[in-house]
Amino acid sequence: MRSLTALGLAVLRLLTDQPQHPYELQQQLREQGLDRVVKVTHGALYNTVGTLAKAELIEPVGSSRDGRRPERTVYSITATGRDVARDRLRELMATLVPEYPAYCVALAFMSLLTAEDAVGRLERRCVLLEGRLAAAQAEYDGSAGRHVPRVGLVEILHLRAHLQADLDLTRALIEEIHSGRLELSAAARP
């Protein structure tokens, strides 16, 4: 099997709790807020389950039927699946993977805009970041209020730190453009 995807890792992680069928996995991903860190679509989830089963990282352990609905296969993680999940997690935690965030691209080419246009866009981004930061804080507070173990909150802490750093930088860029310390190139002028 090629490298384990983030969705594959999430499925393996959920199956360490108990055997489940894909529909239950999708519900768990939503309920635990994991869909904010792993992109989940119905098709991708079923494809991932099939790939994991083919690689013998999970195995069918039964099936259930609810009324006239199609039969649902219940899967359990295998010992190999546990090992692969742990190895992939160790790799992800200990290495830096090149990422190409869209905002970095925008900043790299910001000089194509006028100062006024750039500031307007940056101010709009600040509003969006403030909203996301407030939502992340509310999610953290709600989870902490439900006594979710701290290990279940670390990805929210990570998200909040990134959002705050993004907001701080964006505000600083606005201030630097206003003060003249950051001049956009002549390419931005009509």
**Domain range summary for the chain, segments of one domain joined by +:** 6-94, 102-188
The CATH number that domain 6-94 falls under is: 1.10.10.10
Q: Which of 154, 32, 168, 20 is nearest to 89 (CA)?
A: 154
pLDDT band at 188 (very low <50, low <70, confident <90, very high): low
CB 52 within 8 A of CB 81: yes
User: How does the average pLDDT of the chain come out, rounded?
Assistant: 92
pLDDT number for residue 9 = 97
Written in H, E and C, the secondary structure of the chain is CCCCCHHHHHHHHHHCCCCECHHHHHHHHHHCCHHHCCCCCHHHHHHHHHHHHHCCCEEEEEEECCCCCCCEEEEEECHHHHHHHHHHHHHHHHCCCCCCCHHHHHHHCHHHCCHHHHHHHHHHHHHHHHHHHHHHHHHHHHHHHCCCCHHHCHHHHHHHHHHHHHHHHHHHHHHHHHHCCCCCCHHHCC
Average pLDDT over residues 6-28: 95
Q: Which residue has the tokens 């981004």?
A: 125
Question: pTM of the prediction?
Answer: 0.79
pLDDT number for residue 4 = 93
Query: What are the pLDDT digits (tens) for 94-150?
Result: 999 889 999 999 999 999 999 999 999 999 999 999 999 999 999 999 988 888 888
pLDDT number for residue 186 = 59
Percentage of the residues of the chain whose pLDDT score is greater than 90: 76
pLDDT number for residue 63 = 86
Query: What are the pLDDT digits (tens) for 49-71?
Result: 999 999 999 999 998 777 777 78
Give the separation between CA 187 and CA 155, rounded to whole angstroms: 40
pLDDT number for residue 117 = 96
| 187 pLDDT above the threshold of 90 | no
Give the separation between CA 125 and CA 170, rounded to whole angstroms: 8
Half-sphere exposure in the Cβ direction for 31 (13 Å, CA): 9
pLDDT band at 1 (very low <50, low <70, confident <90, very high): low
